[in-house]
Structure 1
Amino acid sequence: MLWRWKQRIGIRMVALGVCLVGLSITGPAVAEEGEIHKLDDVVVSEKSSPSEIVHTPEKTTINVDTYETVGAVQNIGDVLKDQPIMDFRGASDLVPGDIIDGEDSFWMRGFGSNRFVTAIDGSNIHKAGGRQSYHVVDYSLLPTFLIEEVEILPGPHSALYPAQSIGGVINLVTRTPERYDTIKPQVHVSTGYKSYNTQNHSITARGGIGDFVYDAGYQRYSTDGYLRHSEADIDSTFGRIGYLLPSTGYIALTVNHSQGDREIPVNNDAALGDDDGGYPTVSESSYFEWQSPEYDGTATAFRLNYLQPSPLGEWDLNAYYSEEEWKRTTLRKDASGIIYDGGWESTWYTRGVKLQDTIRFSDAHETVIGAEVQQFLDSFDTKQGSPAAFDEKKRVETRSGFAQHRWRIIPRLTLTAGLRYEHADTWTNNLSSSTGAFLITGQPRWIEKSFDD
């Protein structure tokens, strides 16, 4: 042992000696070189590409065209789930828009989806009805065809958005119509296939004739999922026609339709008496295989955008109407063991108009003033003919006005001040869905309340 120890010391001493000799040889040579070499000018001719994500203290802006993630982007949810500010709670990222135990797939800064706002071109697209954070926004039915940027604003810091934006705002900015030099359309086709028989196919076409422009597209997404009973099929189509105004403004009408058929993951656990070895263990689902739970969603939306620059500012009119229908299918057993259909159907309607004027006094000063009226309606029915079911009914109506001024004091310091007023009328169903009895005695079928601040 002593000999090995001495041998190791000897080897290390030799290595140290070699290093010292090397330094003594190269050291003077480095010290003697004092000549300065001037390099020729370097010219970069390649065009710079825009950054896919831009972070500022005010917001995070994501460029949808350049954003890259694992696999092809199927919907807006695929862009959001990678952001640190968003909390993705879906059971599987292969089945977009799945809902687990009454909660939507996305939370923001610890807030459920009824405590932050999702908007298109500044207009709230939340649905009325539901409970807790249920059915507020189905991101799987929002394809990326016409979305140019995704803006994420943390916290209730903007007077331009509704008061419910406690957690923040997700604003989807649609593409600005542009002029084309030729009538030949720009066609883009993509297809993808990955594990669990997951397929994503899409085709888009953009073009124009003179001042008239158009966009159209179709997308097909399907997957078997990796959980038991988690298949999904989603089809989305859209179309837009527009006219470019002489003063760099435009008017455009957009129509989009999406249909999604999705299964709900079920328990898969031998301890629960129901197990299929081909799938991962699941023990906390609300359903079993025999119940065949599914939920199908269909969404149709119409949107009119009008942008008109003028000496008094840039006027922006946004009018919209949408319908979204959900069908929940599941089998249940009553007390005597008889199996029955325990599903339900509900349709949500959203309509409104928003007008705002953006006045840019200079590069440092910008003022936005505007007003918005919005209505949320829904209808509800169950397979058992619940007495609490109802036809189309107005649930929420809001009227708001706002003003905001932004002052860029220095390039790294901006002051924003705003004021918003909202008046909201709400109607709440006062009947029990199971018994049909009044939940609050002495109150009518629909309880109406008004709020303003």
Structure 2
Amino acid sequence: MKFHTTPLLATAVVVLLLLVAGAQAADDGQNANSKRVKLKDVTVTAPGNHSMPISDPEKTVIDVEDYEKAAPVHNVVDILKDSALVDFRGKSDIDVRSERGESPILLRGFDVRRYVNAVDGVTFDQPLHFGQVVDYSLVPLDQIASVEIIPGAHSARYSGKAMGGVINFKTKPLTRKKTVKPDIKLRSSIGEYATYDNRAVLESGYEGFNMAATYHRYTTNGYLRHGDAVMDSYGWMLGYTFTSGAYFKYMGNYVEKDRESYAKNDPSGDYDPAYPEVTSSTAGDIADDSKYHLENTSHRFSYLQPTPIGDFSFGLSYIEKDKHYSTSLDDGQLVVNPNSAGKNLAFNIQDEIRLFNAHTVVLGFDFLEYYVSFDPREDDDNRVRSSRSGFIEDNWQITDRLSVRAGLRYEEVSLSINNYSTITGWGSVEGYQVTLDPPQRYIEKDFDQWMPKFFATYQLGDHAAWLRDTSISAGVSKFWNVAPYCLVCPGRYAQVEPEHGINYDLIFNRRLWQNINLKVDFSYYEIKDYVADNWDYGQYSMFQMRDGRKVFTGEGLPEGLEGSDMYINLDEVTRQGVEVELNGNLLDPLSFYISYAFQDYEYDGSEPAGMELGDVAKHRISAGLRYRPFEKTVVMLDYKYQDEQIAHDIAEIPEGSGNYVSIDNPMSAYNVFDLGVRQLLFKGKNLIKDLSLGLYVKNLFNEAYENSRGYPMTDQSFSAEVSFRF
């Protein structure tokens, strides 16, 4: 059975809800004695301590610990996917992977090279493989309290590359404990395709001392052919909180993963009807026995010290890719292909100074460095990027109506670009990519930029009773992005200038009725010198047609120019978007959320690479209902719609070979429903504090759809989950 709808129908439903809620709000607003609700303090909480996404003018906050979803939550990406701001782009919705050239999610249509990921405000990502990659398995799910999704470039506290915004994962706060008795949580789920997820969390401490240990094992045979995956994650935390409010905390995480590479399943050749069809044009010639192994370690430290004039804080993150290699059979022989190691060091220092009531100034400095071994066969750590930044941010509640956040950020970025390779097929001249006199192994580049930031909110409630709990916000900020391309590729690829531009946001926020809140955000970007992938169109492109596919080779190109125009700057790109968030309770036992996003890129130049900026869905809808027919029962229905689009992909085939293939995959629009029921079986104060059982149906109507790069997503499947707390 197929269930279809259209963006027009979905939009009509949203409008109808707004009209009904708006009419009720108008009646409610006539009561002059009704209680005023301060927008920034609104917390939408349904019965049973269930938290819906909370929206204010600047961000959307998701409470992770109490978040309810119509499917088991295996990782933080499963939570992020419920916002229409976030576009999931993975090859599989069963096993979320961060692979070369891939960003598993987009924010406002921007990939990970154009938005910031952070844990407790400290940036983290890794320049691994063919581009800048974030491994979300390094975010310790069981130690995350909430997720902030901050759209736009209006915060001076984060890197200039945050044109799309920031995803900030906030860890659980430390608490003062009265007893040393540990709190133990066990959660286990089982689903089709031999998918097992087992998690254990132990939290303990005494008085100000806090400690935690976590273990997470995830295994699946996968929906796709050769989709086996095994992940083991170990986490630990030590911290101490003082009665003064000061604290320090150290967190560590070690992740080890073994995965098979998704192989083609082409009816015209090697085909197994037990698996979905994946053609050669999608998977290329990945060997059926190709596998890869990855080990990552992260260390994070945070410190806060209140002072008479403000709060001084320090945060540090260090991430290292300990091992990474792929294996495959070549003429019956096992071949091991090592990949580049990578390290990421980041820290920030800031002081939030209270000048007087409702007026604070934040002064800060942050530092970010990436290290990569260009040639995995050599023991050579190279600092490919170093960023040093200072910022000031003034937060002032000028009047009861008007609040302003104005900031200024200064960044210096140094690049050390690989200019030498011994790998065959890179078109090098005696190993050097760019001919310099004398020859240079690395090309050094330095950039710097000032970026003003501004965001203001004006409350309209004093102007008329019907404008109660209504605000208008505006943001105007500059962004700047150095090297949004492969940081470990040969030097010829790096002959482009940094991106820069202005981001405008106009936001309407209103409490419609009771706890139903509406947020509408209109955004506009002017991006100068946008860095575009020109692999398919470059005059000196290293792609050539072989057997109907574009294959990476430098043969027949002028010496010294091979690949020199595979990335280019587009003069100006504009992006406009609309984001709508509506959530709250229709009735006491019935809560809902609706999230809609529209985005459109435009480029008027002559370069054909600019025509591929439409590699995003123009319309996206995420929605959910939570119904509690009984005190301990919740029924969950989630819905997602995505417009049609075309995905452009560059794949290395086979992995580790240095041979790249250009692939275009058109994707049709889709509608997907998930259904789940969770029952609290027992709740007490003795040995077992609570015991619950969940039953879920994913892709309820068995929609056939693709999410990215031509790989089919999971069909209708069933799963169950049980959780204990001792």
* Shorter-chain TM band: 0.7 to 0.9
1:354-393 equivalence runs, <5 A: 354-361=348-355, 364-382=358-376, 385=377, 391-393=380-382
Q: Distance in 2 between matches of 1:169 and 1:363?
A: 28
- Return the alpha-carbon distance in structure 2 between the equivalents of residues 110 and 178 of structure 1: 38
The match for 1:37 is none
Q: Does 1:242 align with 2:239?
A: yes
The one-letter code matched in structure 2 to 1:254 is: M
Tell me the residue number matched to 1:418. Answer: 407
The higher-RCO structure (CA 8 Å, 6+ apart) is: 2
**1:229, distance to aligned residue in structure 2 (A):** 0.6
Instruction: Work out whether 1:188 is the aligned partner of 2:185.
Output: yes
Aligned partners of 1:74 and 1:143 also within 8 Å? no
- Alpha-carbon spacing, 1:291–1:280, altered in 2? closer, same or farther (3 Å): closer
Residue type of the alignment partner of 2:290: P
Give the Cα separation in 2 of the matches to 1:255 and 1:412.
43
- 1:450 paired residue number: 446
Q: Does the 8 A contact of 2:125 with 2:135 survive in 1? A: no
Does structure 1 retain, via aligned residues, the 8 Å contact 2:226–2:288? no
The amino acid across from 2:272 in the alignment is D
Shift of 1:256: 1.2
Residue 431 (1) aligns with residue 382 (2): no
> CA RMSD, aligned part only?
2.4
Q: Is the 8 A contact 1:98 1:264 kept in 2?
A: no
Report the equivalent of 1:65.
65
Change (3 A) 1:441 1:404: same
**1:282 equivalenced with 2:271 (yes/no):** no
Q: Residue 56 of structure 2 aligns with which residue? A: 56
Query: CA 1:190/1:363 → structure 2, altered by over 3 Å: closer, same or farther?
Result: farther
Q: CA deviation at 1:400?
A: 0.8
| AA of the residue aligned to 2:89 | R
CA offset digits 1:386-441 (Å, max 9, x no partner): xxx55111111111111111233567753211000111111011023524621100
CA distance in 2, matches of 1:238, 1:188: 14
Aligned residue for 1:114, secondary structure, equals helix
CA distance in 2, matches of 1:189, 1:237: 14
Residue 306 of structure 1: how far off its partner (Å): 0.8
1:138 aligned residue: 135
Deviation at 1:291, TM superposition (A): 4.3
Q: Distance in 2 between matches of 1:363 and 1:59?
A: 24
Cα deviation for residue 152 of structure 1 reads 0.9
Residue 223 of structure 2 aligns to a residue in which SS? coil
Give 3-state SS (helix, strand or coil) of 2:77's partner: helix
Deviations 1:127-147 (A, max 9, x none): 13544xx35101133231211
For the residues of structure 2 that align with 1:193 and 1:82, how far apart are their CA atoms? Answer: 22
Counterpart selection for 2:343 from 323, 327, 349: 349
Aligned to 1:396: 385
Per-residue deviation, residues 145-165 of structure 1 (Å, max 9, x unmatched)? 211111111121110001111
Worse-superposed segment, 303-312 or 46-55: 46-55
Q: 1:225 to 1:410 in 2, by over 3 A?
A: farther
1:111 Cα deviation after fit? 1.2
- How many Å separate the matches in 2 of 1:50 and 1:411? 31
| More deviation, 181-190/140-149 | 140-149
Kept after mapping to 2: 8 A contact 1:267/1:282: yes
Report how far residue 367 of structure 1 moved. Answer: 2.0
Distance 1:351 1:169 in 2: 18
Q: Which has the higher strand share?
A: 2
Q: CA deviation at 1:72?
A: 2.4
When the two structures are aligned, how many residues end up with a matched partner?
396
Q: Which amino acid aligns with 1:103?
A: E
In 2, the alpha carbon distance for the partners of 1:127 and 1:267 equals: 29
Query: Structure 1 residues 98 and 278, CA, compared in 2 at 3 Å: closer, same or farther?
Result: farther
One-letter code aligned to 2:371: L
Check conservation: 2:50, 2:67, Cα contact below 8 A: no
| Matching of residues 102-181 of structure 1 within 5 Å | 102-128=101-127, 130-131=129-130, 134-181=131-178
Q: Give the 3 Å change call, closer, same or farther, for CA 184–411 of structure 1 in structure 2.
A: farther
Report the TM-score when normalising by structure 2: 0.52
Taking the aligned partners of 2:334 and 2:162, their CA distance within structure 1 comes to 40
Q: Distance in 1 between matches of 2:172 and 2:415?
A: 34
Aligned-partner residue type, residue 302 of structure 1: H
Partner SS state of residue 315, structure 2: strand
% identical equivalent positions: 36
Deviation string, structure 1 residues 47-98 (Cα, Å, up to 9, x no partner): 8736331112211111111112233222211111221111111111111225
Is 1:229–1:289's contact at 8 Å kept on the other side of the alignment?
A: no
**CA drift at 1:290:** 3.6
User: Per-residue displacement from partner, 1:343-395 (whole Å, max 9, x unpaired)?
Assistant: 3322211223211111244563232111112221122445xx5xxx5511111
Q: Secondary structure at the match of 1:69?
A: coil
**Whole-Å separation in 2 of the counterparts to 1:294 and 1:111:** 29
Q: Greater CA radius of gyration, 1 or 2?
A: 1
1:268–1:282 Cα contact (<8 Å) kept: yes
Shift in CA distance, 285/266, structure 1 to aligned 2, threshold 3 Å: farther
Q: Which residue of 1 aligns with 2:592?
A: none
> Letter of the aligned partner of 1:59 in structure 2?
K
Structure 1: any 5+ residue segments left out of the alignment? 1-45
Helix, strand or coil for the counterpart of 2:341?
Answer: strand
Change (3 A) 1:135 1:199: farther
Which of 394, 397, 402 does residue 405 from structure 1 map onto?
394
SS of 1:285's partner is helix
Instruction: Report the equivalent of 1:93.
Output: 93
**Farther off after superposition, 427-436 or 312-321:** 427-436
Which whole-Å deviations, capped at 9, do the CAs of 1:152-182 have from their partners, x for residues lacking one?
Answer: 1112111000111111111111111111111
Contact kept? 2:252, 2:299, Cα under 8 Å: yes
CA contact (8 A) 2:138 2:253 kept: no
